[in-house]
Structure 1
Amino acid sequence: MFVANAASPTSSASAAEALTTEPVEGVSLGEWTARWWRWALNQPVQPFLDPDGRFCEMGQEGPVWFLAGTNGRFRPKRECEVPEGKYLLVPVINMIYWQRGPGDSRLPCKTLQESAAVNNDHLRSAVVLLDDKPVGDVRLFRVKSEGCFPMDPDDPSSPLGAADGYWLMIKPLSRGPHSLVVGANYGESDVAYGGMNQNFEYVLHVGGRTTLSDAADYGRSLIATQ
């Protein structure tokens, strides 16, 4: 387990308060998840295969910093530097379904949405810890894309996709190190695509990396001002 932010300990209440479902710069959470999928599927290396955080900065732009889950086959521990003032979009566990080939090219949007929803109708468990504190009931944060979206935003005629899953939008965190731990899984079902386990961890150095002495000095300065 990664060590929580020593400079700014997080309580369970503040961990829950760190989340938002409001639009970020006028963009809804559903649209941000569509943008996340375009980002994840169009990088030179798929971010959800990142073993240790070496690809954290790849393709990042705008007010929301995208974190990555996994393909369900390994448990990465990643360490990343995140600029101050960035929201964090966390894919707890999710699915996408898109028109992959000639046989899918005429599938209506409703069918794509239903296909993306199947496993998410069978969530077995989901736990997220921010600085070692639970953020609350993750089941309350199921997000569906707004209708279907072109996989290539610059080409409206590109294949359409639909996304569904459990996502967290974390408000900008205070400067310093923060830990994030995610564990979730779908249940086995005759109607689902099979079970999936999602387990990954992050250490997020907000505003740049700090040393233990930096964190201690910062903590003492906070106490001195109280």
Structure 2
Amino acid sequence: MRAVRTPALIAAAVALLGACSGTPDQGPSAGPSTSPAARGGAGFGDSAGKPSPTPTKVDVRALSPAELQNRWWSWAGSTETARNPVVDTDGRHCAEGQRDGVWLLAGTFGTTTTRRCTVPADTPILFPVVNSYGTSTNCLTFMDAAQGSAVLDGRNLTVEALGATQIRPERVENGPVAEHRGYENSWACGLWVRLDGLAPGPHEIVFRGSSGDFATGVDYQLTVTDGPLPGPSVTPAALTGA
């Protein structure tokens, strides 16, 4: 992921194809809800980090651009830096903060890496090939140059371009985006991939994305299992948008 015109970069990953529908910059308005009532649904773990046997599935293909991007940015921003899946270099933190029946994958801060992760079978997967947040004008510039691709087990995946959408994600002060002013009320955009759940067994997801001089990529070696997942230390994450 990338935060435009800020000192630090955050890189995520997912598709391309298309340009952002540039909305003029506006002041605060009713953006996605991140209230506790909006978060409902079982997660992959409880507050003690124990796996939940019956996580609530989410129809990832029905998520609006605001819901999708608010969900992902809340996940990325509400996990402290030491355990953050975007900072992660080998996959040991893939399960951090995973909740609500969608498994999220992260990109990088501008590097290419390999991660090995265990994920639940038949659970939808969502990830950005390349994405950004800032003003709607930032997003227009970002999407004009955005490009990327994603491959699952040797098969090209559909990459979806999502233009400037207002979000109000969560974050923690000791997370990798804590210094970015305006994070909780900004505009998000990017190239995204939505996947239905995978069958048990080994799978590989490879994606590469870029915009201008920023580039990111991850080779995900996934082990998809029907059994219980290792118990992550679950952190808060906003789930839905208005």
Contact 1:81 1:208 survives alignment (8 Å) = no
Moved more, 27-36 or 173-182: 27-36
Report 1:160-199 matches (<5 A): 160-187=185-212, 195-199=213-217
Cα offset, 1:205, TM superposition: 0.9
Amino acid at match of 2:162: V
Quote the offset at 1:162 in angstroms: 1.2
Alignment of 1:195-214 (within 5 A): 195-207=213-225
* Structure 1 portions without partners, runs of 5+: 1-21, 98-111, 188-194, 210-226
CA RMSD in angstroms comes to: 2.5
- Select which of 130, 138, 152 maps to 2:170: 152
Contact 1:23 1:29 in 2 (8 A): no
Q: 1:113 aligns with which of 114, 136, 154?
A: 136
Q: How many residues align?
A: 158
Shift of residue 144, structure 1, vs aligned partner:
3.4
State the Cα distance separating 1:30 from its structure 2 match.
3.7
Cα deviation for residue 29 of structure 1 reads: 4.4
Q: 2:98 aligns with which of 56, 60, 67?
A: 60
**One-letter amino acid of the structure 2 residue matched with residue 160 of structure 1:** N
In structure 2, distance between residues paired with 1:133 and 1:26: 23
In the alignment, does 2:59 pair up with 1:37?
Answer: no
Unaligned runs of 5+ in 2: 1-57, 172-182, 228-242
The one of 131, 138, 153 aligned to 1:131: 153
The amino acid across from 1:152 in the alignment is: E
State the match for 1:90 in structure 2: 127
Cα contact 2:66–2:167 (8 A) shared by 1 = no
Per-residue Cα deviation, 1:179-202 (whole angstroms, up to 9, x for no partner): 011112223xxxxxxx11112110
Identity of aligned residues (%): 30
> Separation in 2 of the partners of 1:35 and 1:167?
13
| Residue 133 (structure 1) shift | 2.1
Q: Distance in 2 between matches of 1:207 and 1:131?
A: 16
Per-residue CA deviations over 1:145-188 (Å, capped at 9, x if unaligned) read 6x4222339xxxx941211000001110111110011112223x
**Length-normalised TM-score, structure 2:** 0.59
C-alpha spacing 1:24/1:186, structure 2 compared with 1 (3 Å)? closer
Task: For 2:123 and 2:151, locate their aligned partners in 1 and report how far apart those are by CA, in whole Å.
Answer: 19
Looking at structure 2, the residues matched to 182 and 162 of structure 1 have their Cα atoms a distance apart, in angstroms, of 23
Letter in 2 for 1:170: L
- Offset, 1:23: 5.1
**Residue 28 of structure 1: aligned partner:** 64
2:60 is paired with a residue whose SS is coil
Task: Give the direction of change, closer, same or farther, for the CA distance of 1:150–1:117 in structure 2 (3 Å limit).
Answer: same
Q: CA deviation at 1:56?
A: 0.5
In structure 2, C-alpha distance between the alignment counterparts of 1:144 and 1:39, rounded to whole Å: 20
Q: Secondary structure at the match of 1:80?
A: strand
